[in-house]
Amino acid sequence: MPFALITGASTGIGKCIAEELAARDYDVLLIARSECLLKENCLSIQKKYSVSARYFAIDLAEENAAQKIYNWCQSNNYQVSILVNNAGYGLSGFFENRTCEANFDMLKVNMTTPVQLCQLFLPMLKLKPRAYILNIGSTAAYQAMPGFALYGASKSFILNFTRGLHAELKDTNISVSCVCPGATNTHFNERSELCQKAIAKGEKLSMSAEKVAQISVEGMFSGKTEVVVGLANRVGVFLSWLLPKSVSERFIMNIYKE
């Protein structure tokens, strides 16, 4: 069985997607920063699902991270038929209050490295009878996000990149999907340094990482281009399209402004 490669697979949605695919008899390659957690997850997956699980610890903001991941797969002859670009994080607060280095590291993880991984693995994916690319976006992709501006913009990029790539590869063996979750029970809030007001708002609609992973994998295998996870999130996306942009932006600013 060819491998499924999942970034951000140490915790949260990425870890749950790895388990969801392992339960479907896919061997898995886990990518994230924490070697300790990756090793633990690999041992657990192998024991629970009787599949092969390997890991590669790397910071996706690192220079040439995508190339290093691809080289690791090539040197070990890991044939990838599913690429899951899950790793990502946000930096809350006003744009001017973050350093250029912090902002660009986030953009590398959220945008640049996923694009590079798609570029590098496409030739390999084309050799498989059936292959998949799953990019994890966010409901933040559907409107401007004052107080979370760069994160929202990076997810808008991922959503539109996915849709464009899906159309380009429509008549090939590769299906490309983007899944857009809303608030999810992960470590996202801590790394993003969200204010308590935003956390409290999100908790009311928060979904489990396991449920998001299940919906994500089902959407990918169904060949869906775009999936917004959860009824409440779909309603929110519709309202963001329906309402004047200035109204939704004021609403969002009120949530994320400390």
Q: What is the DSSP letter of 53?
A: E
pLDDT confidence of residue 4: 98
pLDDT confidence of residue 208: 93
pLDDT confidence of residue 256: 65
pLDDT confidence of residue 131: 98
Classify 82 as helix, strand or coil.
strand
pLDDT confidence of residue 241: 79
pLDDT confidence of residue 191: 55
Name the residue type at position 122.
L
Q: Which helix (H) or strand (E) holds 21?
A: helix 12-22
Q: What is the pLDDT along the chain (258 residues), one digit of tens a residue?
A: 789 999 999 999 999 999 999 999 999 999 999 999 999 999 999 999 999 999 999 999 999 999 999 999 999 999 999 999 999 999 988 899 999 999 999 999 999 999 999 999 999 999 999 999 999 999 999 999 899 899 999 999 999 999 999 999 999 999 999 999 988 877 665 555 555 544 555 555 679 999 999 999 999 999 999 999 988 888 888 887 787 777 777 877 777 666
pTM above 0.75, yes or no: yes
Q: Which helix (H) or strand (E) holds 28?
A: strand 27-32
Q: Based on the structure, what is the number of domains in the chain?
A: 1
Mind giving me the DSSP string for 105-140?
HHHIIIIIHHHHHHHHHHHHHHTSSSEEEEEE--GG
Query: Which CATH number belongs to the domain containing residue 219 in this structure?
Result: 3.40.50.720
pLDDT confidence of residue 193: 56
**Dihedral in degrees, nearest 10, Cα atoms 41, 47, 49, 51:** 80
Q: What is the DSSP letter of 142?
A: G
**Dihedral in degrees, nearest 10, Cα atoms 213, 206, 202, 34:** -40
**C-beta separation of 210 from 23 below 8 A:** no
Structural domain that includes position 98: 3-256
CB atoms within 10 A of CB 103: 16
